[in-house]
Structure 1
Amino acid sequence: MINTDFFITPDNWSFAGIILSVLVIAAYLLFLKTKTSQKAYFIVTVILLYVSFGSPIALLRDYGLHSLTMLQHIVLLMIAPILFLKSIPSNTILFSEKFKLNILQQPKNYFLMFWWLSAVMMCGGHFLSAGILSAETGTAICGITATKDSWITAIPESLILSLLFIAGILFALPVFNPVKSKRLAPLKSVIYLFTACVSCSLLGLYVAFSESTDTLNSSLTAFTTLRSPVPLTLRADQELAGMLMWVPGCILYVLASVSILLSWYEENPVEKSETAIHTAK
């Protein structure tokens, strides 16, 4: 049974994070002229970042919950970056012609590099987090076993999560760039997102069905402590982690692809129909 006291205890909430979030949102609303939908996207982005870094959910990883770590990765790599880019006005200095960094000026020319970067960060971030969890809990996570004095424990989890968010922004930039002319063509965007769907599905399948620990220990609940607010067996937790990466991750990219195609056809349906006919011939 879930311990609700864990989630309502004030000490488990970062009040410094709440203040910072409010200040960031206030600055956005005061200094940037955006649409109502963009304001909503930005506020949701900040909330997701706070939940991932400063809420009780972020503390659940201290109990060895692999599924919660995976949920953080999904939010920071796949969801928050897209919402963030949708919230940024096209006249922002980073995307204006005055900004000289070509990699941001023409991200569609670097989409392969961004794709590989996000794929490496997705897999690398997962295995690093799995190694840290293994060192903390003393169990094998996804076939990875690490000791408490392993070098991997010196890596701050917040650093991994921050890099995931940055990699997610770079990955989404060729498709969701605030400046439409700098985006990939609609069909290329769909293919780009489809390949990302395949990669997150493969990682999810590996996590769900890979070895976690020995058969006896994998049936034990609450990991290394009975104080865990969300008691799960090791096997159930790892399967849930894999399913989170596999199913919701793929659904997200499919929905984004459908949205891109619908917008494409709505812009000029006659032209698109003629293009489809010529392509068929």
Structure 2
Amino acid sequence: MLRPDPLRDVVLIVDDAPENLSILHTLLDRSGYTVLVATDGAGALDRARRLPPDLILLDAVMPGIDGFETCRQLKEDLQTRTIPVVFMTGLTETEHILQGFQAGGVDYITKPIRPAEVMVRIASHLRNSRLVVQTRAAMDAAGQAVVAVDPNGDVLWMTPLALSWLRSSLDAHGRLPAELCSWLHDALEAPEVRPFELMAASEQLVVSRLRPGAQDEELLLIQCKAGSPGPAALMQAFRLTPREADVLYWVALGKTNRDIADILGMSPRTANKHLEHVFEKLGVETRTSAARMALNVVTRRSMQ
């Protein structure tokens, strides 16, 4: 699903009270935001996954899946994990406030809502989020496979290239493999620890600490081991985007568009569109010709 307007920040409001939805929708719309709404936790999860918003205003107390559980599920999904969640509720006891932050919220607004306060907090969190997004986009554009994790090894975010390499190695909750988490623990204690080698997605990968990130993030750099073929080499050789390089890599391994779509988490139609762009950049018309050119890059790398 396409974003309604790429120049407007998208805010998802989740509240089971129609009057609250109406007030907030009007307030945000007049302030220039694109507004999505959901009246329960299940609806919020569905909307956030189909069209990830830039920020979520989430009521804590709702029938069915309450706001705390909704937030926990959002933070368990790599697609929605980085969306800032601001809780809204009439619960003001310390234990409820702590529960919101423990579930993954970044802020807590008490009801009745004060419009000026809401708008200032939304603007602040969107500003912070935008800086993070721009940093990741710069890394992605540079063809870097970077993963941000917390000290326990939980993945906070990763660039598309890193995801394409590590997808098959992550567990159901998006955590890094146990052996890599163990290495990270050692690396935090002793910075001179050697880089970690991992076999994933038919790649021999080398993982090293890049630098500490913001808010207890650890940034890990993922690279293909010297002599090992990979999308990064194809991206550099043919001036491809990270996604185009991923598609060409799997074409060279004999995968169909449907296989590639499943591996990379996209639709077959999207995979085909990326492949069309690859053909254009390589100046070829068939998968066989594209695969041959990709394999030539692999051969040159292995001889270096």
**TM-score between the two structures when normalised by the length of structure 1:** 0.31
Task: Give the strand-richer structure, 1 or 2.
Answer: 2
More helix by share: 1
